Structure 1
Amino acid sequence: MAEKNIDEMSFLDHLEDLRWHLIRATAGIVIAGTIAAIFYKFVFDVIIFGPTRMDFPTYEGLCRVSEFLGINDTTFCADEFPFKIQNRTVAGQFSAHVWTSIYAGFIIAFPYVIYQLWSFISPGLKSTERKSSRGFLIIASLLFFIGVAFGYYIVTPLSINFLANYNISEQISNEFDVSSVIAIVRSSAIASGFVFELPIVIYFLTKIGLVTPDFLRKYRKYALVIVLILSAVITPPDIASQVIVAIPILILYQVSIYISAAVVRNQKRKLKNV
């Protein structure tokens, strides 16, 4: 499609432009997913099933902390988890391979996906707005990967450890389906990745006037309740895990207030200079 001035483009032209950006983003995910599919042994044995083994770094670290505090009766220091991973459907392993590769492709290609989104939005911004948002791609990608790492190394092992050792009867043995294990790893990592994008979301909402720092401060107590509910949803129902997850989210909320205040100050300064 021939490039046009943004002011000259019709609604259909914008849709066509969006379509090509979505195609490129999808192509990036497919390519990254194909690479993940080729190295499936590493993806599954090391990454996906890593939190199901007691030699996972999180468990070793929590075990040392427990020993330091004198807590001997802890599941973090066990030799192995009391469960087996099984496949219960004919196409289960094939489906797990395909869908895990797609999700892995999305995580790997996230900076490129964000770049395509930014390429579609940025022509509609003023030159000063584009300059002030120059670091958007780097910051958005960095926050996403930090969130994914937090979900993988904190939320996932806490969830698996709690659920694997939860027992309502000695007559029941845990034999988890492979899709269930993958779902915990996938949802914890990707959900945390998006949660960590909160400062970016607040930045743009402040830029367009939908959010102000006073609004964020006023409803901070309600945000605290929402954060606790969110942490309860993505973690097992024990207080320690919920607090561990809630702390970084609350920090992100406070950082978002500072970011919103900085945006408002810059806007007022520009109005004075006009």
Structure 2
Amino acid sequence: MKSKEEDEMTFWDHLEALRWMLMRCAVVLVALMIAVFLAKEWVFTAIFAPKSSSFFVYHWIDKLGALFYIHSLRIVPFNLNLVNFQLTGQFMTHLSVAFWLGLILSFPYFFYELWRFISPALYASERRPVVWTFMAGAILFFIGVSISYIIIFPVAVHFFYMYQISPDIKNLISLSSYISLFTTTLISIGAVFELPILVYLLSRLGILKRSFMRKYRRHAIVVIFIIAGIITPADPFTMLAVCLPLVLLYEASIYVCKK
């Protein structure tokens, strides 16, 4: 049952609770931004690691290419040299990375604060499913971010850097474009991994049915392969590296969807 305190809370009490929740979230975000900002050397060493063929993922891909005689998987040694065209470019990039990584690291706390805000309004029988939903959401987000950093982002960096429409055109990669690809890839893939949670919530509201997702499974897989074909080189390994997690996510979404 709902608590007596919850029954007595007015609209302004809820508004005050929301204000304090947002303030606590802002404090945590700023604290993590400062921590990331101060750890500049470690952070940017990790971020810049995929711009060189010495990155461990490229060694794995190259070994797979040698093992299965797939020429397109062989990694030619390379080192992407970043350039900065603006006077304030490096400092603003430093601030941008601190914000986005601070935001990513803050997500578990945001989920916790959101749970604290809505839990008094829930019945006891409703709280356990909601707790698991928030925990699963945080875990899936970080799984998506990890897969993005370890596989998808390095593959994208290598493909776009090595791609040429003419040998007369040399690729000069700006710092801002590299960081933009990094943050966009991590956050977008992390958000995509929230698909099972979204499907679960929509199914609880009666908007989405398991039968519907099963009916259009083939269509969804075709769309996934089309998207993977657009954003990755046309070789089996890289397409599989992108498609497999997305297909598994779709299957997991079918499983969590109510009948």
Same fold per superposition (TM over 0.5): yes
Show the counterpart of 1:150: 147
How far apart, in 2, do the equivalents of 1:229 and 1:123 lie? 45
> Of 114, 123, 128, which residue of structure 2 is paired with 1:126?
123
Q: Which amino acid aligns with 1:236?
A: T
**For residue 109 of structure 1, what is the amino acid of its counterpart?**
S
Partner residue of 1:267?
A: none
Question: What amino acid maps onto 2:26 in structure 1?
Answer: T
Choose which of 184, 187, 204 in structure 2 pairs with 1:187. Answer: 184
The structural deviation recorded for 1:242 is: 3.8
1:106 is paired with a residue whose SS is helix
Offset at residue 86 of structure 1 (A): 0.4
For residues 229-268 of structure 1, the aligned pairs below 5 Å read 230-231=227-228, 235-236=231-232, 238=234, 240=236, 241-261=238-258
CA contact (8 A) 1:28 1:113 kept: no
Query: Within 1, Cα distance between the matches of 2:218 and 2:12?
Result: 44
Separation (CA, whole Å) in 1 of partners of 2:72 and 2:220: 33
CA displacement at 1:160 relative to structure 2: 0.7
Tell me, in whole angstroms, the C-alpha distance in 2 between the residues paired with 1:76 and 1:93.
Answer: 33
CA distance in 2, matches of 1:43, 1:65: 29
Residues 215 and 19 (structure 1 numbering): CA distance in 2 closer, same or farther, change over 3 Å? farther
Give the structure 2 partner of residue 79 of structure 1.
Answer: 77
Report the number of matched residues.
256
Residue in structure 2 matching 1:93, options 90, 95, 112: 90
Q: Equivalents in 1 of 2:44, 2:27: separation in Å?
A: 23
1:111 and 2:137 are equivalent in the alignment: no
Q: Are the equivalent residues in 1 in contact too, given 2:214–2:254 (CA < 8 A)?
A: yes
Give the conservation status (yes or no) of the 8 Å contact 1:25–1:112: yes
Partner of 1:268: none
| CA RMSD after TM alignment | 2.3
Separation in 2, partners of 1:223, 1:10: 45
CA-to-aligned-CA distance 1:42-68 (integer Å, 9 cap, x gap): 1112x2111101111210100000111
Compute the displacement of 1:98 (Å): 0.3
- Tell whether the 8 Å contact from 2:65 to 2:73 is kept in structure 1 after alignment: no
**Residues 176 and 75 (structure 1), Cα distance of their counterparts in 2 relative to 1, 3 Å cut:** farther
Matching residue of 1:271: none
Which stretch shifts more, 91-100 or 235-244?
235-244
SS of aligned partner of 1:129? helix
Gaps of 5+ in 1: 265-274
| Cα deviation digits, residues 14-57 of structure 1 (max 9, x gap) | 33322322221222111111111101111112x21111011112
Aligned identity (percent) is: 34
Which amino acid letter does the alignment assign opposite residue 170 of structure 1?
A: P
Q: Specify which of 216, 219, 230 is matched with residue 219 of structure 1.
A: 216
The offset of 1:158, in angstroms, is: 1.1
Unaligned runs of 5+ in 2: none
Shift of the 226–11 alpha-carbon distance from structure 1 to 2, 3 Å rule, reads: farther
Partner of 1:26: 26
Counterpart of 1:159 in structure 2 is 156
Q: Offset of 1:12 from its aligned partner? A: 4.2
Q: Does residue 84 of structure 2 align to residue 62 of structure 1?
A: no
Alignment deviations for residues 92-114 of structure 1 (CA, whole Å, 9 cap, x no partner): 00110001001111122221111
Counterpart-to-counterpart distance in 2, 1:229 and 1:124: 43
Structure 1 contact 33–104 (Cα < 8 Å) conserved: yes
**Contact 1:21/1:116 (8 A) holds in 2:** yes
The amino acid across from 1:14 in the alignment is H
